[in-house]
Structure 1
Amino acid sequence: MEIRSLRDIQPGEECFIHYVNVLQTVNVRRKKLYDNYRFWCECLRCKRELKILADTAIGDRLKLEETEAKAQTFLAKIDKEFDENYYKMLETCETGLDAVQNDLDTTNPHMAQLHVRTQEACIGLQKWKAAVKSGMEIIRACKTHLLPTDPILGFHMWRVAKIQAVTLNQPIVARDLLQQAIDVMSIGYGSTHPMTMEAKELLGTIIDQ
């Protein structure tokens, strides 16, 4: 087993791992942790995000919770009903995004999760430009909510850069994002991880062109 740190650790500092998808809202994360492990998370991120919610005006908070619940309903429908039926999946994703995008910030985790499903459907349907567009929205959300060395961010950077470089034949466009993906994955996954090595090989091919 190999354990990798995403940031410097101070002497005596407690180390943590996450048990759930971290690209979710604080209420969703904490509820899943309680339902599955019977504890309410009190990590620094959860406490920070709970404070932001507590400081939000009650009317705005209720509106946010209502819209996020609506988004969660669409996500549950997508995950339950559309097993590789990419046409229906994409249709529901687009309906969900249309229903909540005016009331949620573009980096809201629920928006990000809708874009994750949208990208999956677009890849399944070979709608590559749309897949890149959703991927860039996912990357924006990752940069907002995750550590800059988080492998989830690196993975989504790599996914978009690979589509740009290989499928859309836009290697110059993909080059900077590919380098960023390698930098992140080298920390989060390790420099010899197969995904990191594949990204390095692709970057070398682009540089040699």
Structure 2
Amino acid sequence: MILPIVAYGHPVLRKVAEDITPEYPNLKELIANMWETMYGSNGVGIAAPQINKAIRLFVIDSEQIIHNLEEDEKNDYPGDEGVKEVFINAHIVETGGKEWAYNEGCLSIPKVREDVNRAETVTLSYVDENFTPHVRTFTGVTARVILHEYDHIDGVLFIDHLKPLKRRMLKSKLEDITKGKIRVDYKMTFPK
């Protein structure tokens, strides 16, 4: 089932999400709905706070980015084959490499795209949908998508990484999103 995505200004987007246990109600169904919602809105990742759940859960599919790159662009992301994975109770172990800029957007902040600097690599500890523990290092575009979704479970948005002047320039667009004065081709929930 495709779920509505909460829009900028909704308080759940600013909460630090809680770890969950395998007994979390209807977890498999929730994960399936998150995949469907992400693909239905042409996203490459979605975090539980974006569907109004303040839990440490996100899904990403960076394979679709990597597979759609031109051959010469693939050289820009050596070692990044992309992943399609569920991340539960994720916590950053470390980030590394050079920071690099990439134009990001967010399903909760539609029609706003900006260059954001992020670390080249991220090492995460997390459990998958079967609660099997992992500690893995990701690089390139995959690391970026993970860091973007990880920010969501920490109550951070990609626009928080922008310089103050750039954020001020976006103020009216962000206000329009909060007021529901935008059109998107996926379901959204706007703050009251």
TM-score grouping bracket, smaller chain normalisation: under 0.3
TM-score for the superposition, normalised by structure 2: 0.26
Decide which structure has the larger Cα Rg and report it: 1
Whose helix proportion is higher, 1 or 2?
A: 1
TM-score for the superposition, normalised by structure 1: 0.24
Higher relative contact order (CA 8 A, sep 6+): 2
